[in-house]
């Protein structure tokens, strides 16, 4: 198992174990107090357990090698896992809203608030700490599953914190209807977080461009730019879990033979694979140069140069993703039509 995969297994297992323990503690607190707000928090902990269990399975599946039926690997399961977790959170928020309304219309006596306050406060600290660690390690390993699970635990800790504050107010004031109001506020926070996770999951499943990854690629290519890499365009980049997929058009001198072009393509790939974390899959379409490229081509000993070098083209996210070769402004007239680009 790769080190990155071990990190994922470790932290999602910690999340699952913690979720089980805190679920027991929260239901104990509800049994002692009969508080609707605490019941709200306890019911959400069931979602935490289910979500962490599914996250563990998705981490296992995403680490499986490519096969005939999955030539791009299994990394997208992490997006599905995140969406599944978001849907669970959303459904919990709706259920909690219903419970809050019922509690307001038919209030029940609340008891043992001091014990409830202590137990929920304990779960708040545990969730916040582990949630922060999950997000940090998820960002390090580019795992949307760990990040989603961490955000879920942080949301749960925020919910618990509001419960603690609410219970404290009830202890001081004796106003029990605040319990229902607090449940309603918690449900709104939970629903918003669920929508956020679903939105992120859908974006990944639909291969939405990863802007952070694109910016990283542009920075790497600019830093390691070689004179023989005349032009890069139509660059696309997506993440599949911790893996990255990159494809682009790379322009070389048209008089090169296939062996030379193949060698330079590998050099280009190796630069990206060395600088981009995780497994990187790269598809490159080699283009022959055009006369208009001479004005920004840096090959000093080019035997077929038709125009003098004027200046480099600065590669940016905006122009490197365009499906056409770059041209300097004064060469706009007479530029080939889009259909003639390679």
CA gap 279, 269 in Å, rounded:
12
The 10s digit of each residue's pLDDT in 185-220 is 777 877 887 787 788 778 777 777 778 889 999 999
State the pLDDT at residue 147. 79
State the pLDDT at residue 232. 94
State the pLDDT at residue 87. 83
Average pLDDT, the chain: 79
Name residues whose C-beta falls within 8 Å of residue 15's C-beta, 6 or more positions apart in sequence: 52, 55, 130, 134, 149, 150, 153
* Dihedral, CA of residue 228, residue 283, residue 80 and residue 275, to nearest 10: -30
Name residues whose C-beta falls within 8 Å of residue 262's C-beta, 6 or more positions apart in sequence: none
C-alpha torsion sign, points 225, 227, 229, 234: positive
Are the C-beta atoms of residues 12 and 56 closer than 8 Å to each other? yes
Question: For the chain, which domains are there?
Answer: 3-205 (1.20.1510.10), 211-340 (3.30.70.1350)
Query: Does the pTM exceed 0.75?
Result: no
Residue, of 278 and 249, whose pLDDT is higher: 249
CA gap 145, 299 in Å, rounded:
46
The 10s digit of each residue's pLDDT in 116-131 is 677 777 878 887 888 8
CA gap 232, 209 in Å, rounded:
17
Q: Write down how long the chain is.
A: 342
336 pLDDT higher than 50:
no
């Amino acid at each position: 198992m790769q080190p990155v995969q071990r990190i994922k297994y470790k932290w999602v297992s910690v999340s699952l174990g913690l979720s089980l323990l805190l679920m027991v503690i929260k239901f104990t607190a509800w049994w002692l107090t009969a508080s609707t707000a605490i019941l709200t928090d306890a019911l959400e902990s069931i979602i935490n357990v289910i979500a962490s269990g599914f996250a563990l399975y998705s981490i296992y599946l995403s680490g499986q090698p490519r096969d005939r039926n999955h030539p791009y690997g299994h990394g997208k399961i992490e997006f599905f896992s995140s969406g599944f977790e978001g849907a669970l959170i959303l459904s919990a928020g709706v259920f909690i809203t219903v419970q809050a309304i019922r509690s307001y219309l038919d209030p029940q006596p609340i008891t043992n608030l001091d014990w409830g306050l202590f137990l929920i406060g304990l779960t708040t600290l545990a969730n916040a700490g582990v949630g922060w660690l999950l997000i940090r390690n998820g960002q390090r390993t580019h795992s949307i599953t760990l990040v989603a699970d961490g955000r879920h635990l942080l949301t749960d800790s925020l919910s618990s914190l509001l419960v603690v504050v609410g219970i404290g107010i009830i202890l001081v004031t004796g106003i029990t209807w605040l319990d229902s109001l607090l449940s309603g506020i918690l449900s709104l926070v939970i629903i918003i977080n669920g929508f956020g996770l679903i939105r992120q999951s859908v974006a990944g499943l639909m291969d939405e461009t990863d802007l952070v990854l694109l910016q990283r690629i542009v920075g790497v290519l600019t830093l390691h730019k070689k004179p023989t890499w005349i032009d890069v365009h139509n660059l696309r980049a997506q993440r599949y879990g911790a893996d990255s997929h990159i494809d682009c058009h790379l322009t070389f001198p048209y008089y090169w033979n296939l062996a030379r072009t193949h060698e330079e393509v590998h050099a280009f790939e190796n630069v990206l694979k060395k600088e981009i974390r995780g497994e990187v899959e790269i598809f490159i379409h080699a283009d022959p140069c055009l006369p208009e490229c001479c004005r920004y081509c840096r090959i000093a000993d080019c035997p077929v140069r038709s125009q003098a070098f004027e200046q480099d083209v600065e590669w940016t996210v905006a122009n490197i993703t365009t499906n056409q070769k770059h041209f300097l402004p004064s060469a706009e007239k007479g530029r080939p039509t889009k259909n003639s680009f390679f």
